[in-house]
């Protein structure tokens, strides 16, 4: 069996300036490929200590995975330290230089001399292409039965390079022999403990395993199975998934990479309906979630960020009397905002949010975390109170936007059902 080791390079990690989410991502990936990982280490931008870490890892692992230290500045030392550790000269790769220059040109910026540093690779090393950033990595076997790969520390770049190049490389060389497949069921509107009570003994299952995760109001159940092929693994998952879905009911809104916004979008698109939004305390966060979905222009028209009451009146037609009688944070105003944005944009559905996100602005009657969701559609027009508690401004805003989507989702499903 092949054994991997992660080496995270960067003084910023040793100083705690950034969280090492790369190590978690790569650990998960290795586990899912059936590649063991016994040690992970973090070392700063210091060539002597980095060299010692490389020597140690090369003595006890077959696959060395480096993140960080590929940037253009003098403290980015990973490539040159690897080359020195294995007594191999570096050379400037003209293809990398051309690629970096093209990327700068695309953004109308000038490439500088220090970017040339990123075009250096040890003799014998292959380029590990970086489609989204300037710093490529390398794949190199500096000695028998040891392969090393380098990635930038920027998570988006590292992940793309891992998926595009590293995973196919490991599979093609039979290093990745097992498959762990997983399916994540996503829930909204149910607590982790309530869901756990319903699911019960399934958490003791060993293949597939079932594990709960909760984050920012969402609960997920991850079903993971090991098998020789992906198809076999999913065959193990299928009956458990079906069982969990039947237990979860309408609280289960989707799977894997689906989001509340994408699920709402599918429901709207299937009926040829459209949506617009009116946002007060979320200030655009609901629209941002909806438009994060590629193709959302097929059903999402837009809306109004009615942060100030003048905008609620001028652009949504909320009557001054309604605002005065109930206050901006009220069921009546949420409902009028939803109706207003629906009518003024000509959408099928209007979805509105008004609430107290905090930290200031709360009162005994209307505390931080009190939010109203307005839904106006073909046969419905309501303002729904929600109490999210004072758990921080960002939490209230995020959970408000998700709950608004979830409330609309439930109405779209019930009506179709």
* Residues from 223 through 282 that contact a second copy (CB under 8 A): 224, 276-277, 279-282
User: For residue 234, how far is the Cα from the chain centroid?
Assistant: 23
Q: How many residues make contact with a second copy (CB under 8 A)?
A: 115
Pick from 9, 26, 252, 405 the residue near a second copy by CB under 8 A. Answer: 26
Under 8 Å between Cβ of 142 and 149: no
Region binding a second copy by CB under 8 A among candidate stretches 81-89, 171-179, 203-211, 330-338? 203-211
Q: What is the contact mask toward a second copy in residues 49 to 68, using x (rule: CB under 8 A)?
A: x---x--x------------
**Based on CB atoms, which residue is closest to a second copy, 228 or 359?**
359
Q: Does 169 bind a second copy (CB under 8 A)?
A: no
Please list, in sequence order, all residues whose beta carbon lies within 8 angstroms of the beta carbon of residue 191, skipping any fewer than 6 positions away.
214, 219
Region binding a second copy by CB under 8 A among candidate stretches 61-69, 81-89, 171-179, 191-199? 191-199
What is the nearest approach in angstroms of a second copy to the Cβ of residue 23? Answer: 7
**Based on CB atoms, which residue is closest to a second copy, 142 or 355?**
355
**Based on CB atoms, which residue is closest to a second copy, 73 or 177?**
73
**Based on CB atoms, which residue is closest to a second copy, 169 or 307?**
307
Please list, in sequence order, all residues whose beta carbon lies within 8 angstroms of the beta carbon of residue 245, skipping any fewer than 6 positions away.
185, 252
Under 8 Å between Cβ of 28 and 52: no
**Segment 387 to 406, residues that bind a second copy, using CB under 8 A:** 387-389, 391-395, 397
What is the nearest approach in angstroms of a second copy to the Cβ of residue 212? Answer: 6
User: Kind of pairing, strands 349-355 and 218-227?
Assistant: unpaired
Measured CA to CA, the distance from residue 332 to residue 185 in angstroms comes to 35
Token pair 């994540």: residue: 184
Strands of the 370-376 sheet, one edge to the other: 275-279, 349-355, 370-376, 381-387
Please list, in sequence order, all residues whose beta carbon lies within 8 angstroms of the beta carbon of residue 334, skipping any fewer than 6 positions away.
352, 353, 354, 372, 373, 374, 383, 384
What is the SS3 string spanning 29-53? Answer: HHHHHCCEEEEEEEECCCHHHHHHH
Token pair 């060539």: residue: 47
Pick from 344, 366, 410, 411 the residue near a second copy by CB under 8 A. Answer: 344
What is the nearest approach in angstroms of a second copy to the Cβ of residue 109? Answer: 6
What is the nearest approach in angstroms of a second copy to the Cβ of residue 396? Answer: 11
Pick from 55, 75, 92, 230 the residue near a second copy by CB under 8 A. Answer: 75
Please list, in sequence order, all residues whose beta carbon lies within 8 angstroms of the beta carbon of residue 215, skipping any fewer than 6 positions away.
none
Region binding a second copy by CB under 8 A among candidate stretches 71-79, 137-145, 318-326, 329-337? 71-79
Q: Does 305 bind a second copy (CB under 8 A)?
A: yes
Measured CA to CA, the distance from residue 201 to residue 198 in angstroms comes to 9
């Amino acid at each position: 069996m092949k054994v991997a080791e992660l080496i995270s390079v960067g003084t910023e990690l040793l100083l705690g300036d950034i969280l090492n989410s790369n190590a978690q991502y790569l650990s998960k990936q290795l586990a899912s490929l059936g590649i063991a990982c016994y040690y992970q280490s973090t070392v700063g931008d210091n060539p002597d200590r980095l060299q010692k870490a490389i020597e140690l890892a090369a003595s006890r692992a077959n696959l060395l995975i480096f993140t960080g230290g590929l940037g253009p500045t003098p403290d980015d030392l990973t490539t040159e330290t690897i080359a020195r550790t294995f007594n191999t000269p570096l050379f400037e790769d003209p293809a990398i230089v051309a690629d970096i220059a093209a990327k700068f040109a695309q953004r109308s910026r000038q490439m500088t001399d220090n970017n040339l540093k990123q075009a250096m690779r040890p003799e014998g090393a292959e380029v590990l292409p970086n489609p989204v950033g300037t710093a490529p990595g390398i794949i190199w076997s500096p000695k028998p039965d040891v392969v090393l790969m380098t990635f930038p520390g920027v998570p988006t770049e590292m992940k793309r390079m891992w998926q595009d190049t590293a995973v196919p490389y490991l599979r093609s060389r039979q290093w990745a022999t097992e498959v762990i497949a997983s399916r994540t069921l996503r829930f909204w509107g149910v607590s982790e403990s309530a869901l756990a009570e319903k699911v019960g003994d399934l958490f003791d299952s060993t293949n597939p395993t079932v594990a709960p995760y909760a984050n920012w109001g969402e609960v997920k159940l991850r079903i993971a199975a090991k098998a020789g092929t992906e198809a076999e693994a999913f065959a193990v998952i299928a009956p458990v998934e079906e069982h969990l879905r039947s237990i979860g009911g309408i609280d289960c809104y989707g799977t894997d990479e689906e989001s509340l916004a994408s699920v709402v979008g599918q429901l709207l698109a299937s009926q040829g309906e459209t949506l617009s939004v009116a946002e007060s305390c979320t200030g655009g966060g609901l629209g941002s979630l909806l438009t994060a979905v590629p193709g959302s222009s097929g059903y999402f028209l837009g809306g109004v960020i009615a942060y100030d009451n003048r905008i609620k009146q001028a652009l949504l037609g909320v009557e001054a009397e309604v605002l005065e009688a109930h206050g901006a944070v009220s069921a009546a105003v949420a409902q009028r905002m939803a109706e207003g944005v629906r009518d003024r944009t000509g959408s099928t559905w209007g979805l509105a949010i008004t609430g107290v996100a905090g930290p200031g602005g709360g009162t005994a009657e209307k505390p931080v975390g009190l939010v109203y969701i307005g839904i106006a559609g073909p046969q419905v027009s309501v303002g729904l109170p929600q109490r999210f508690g004072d758990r921080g401004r960002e939490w209230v805003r995020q959970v408000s936007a998700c709950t608004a989507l979830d409330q609309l989702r439930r109405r779209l499903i019930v009506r179709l059902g």
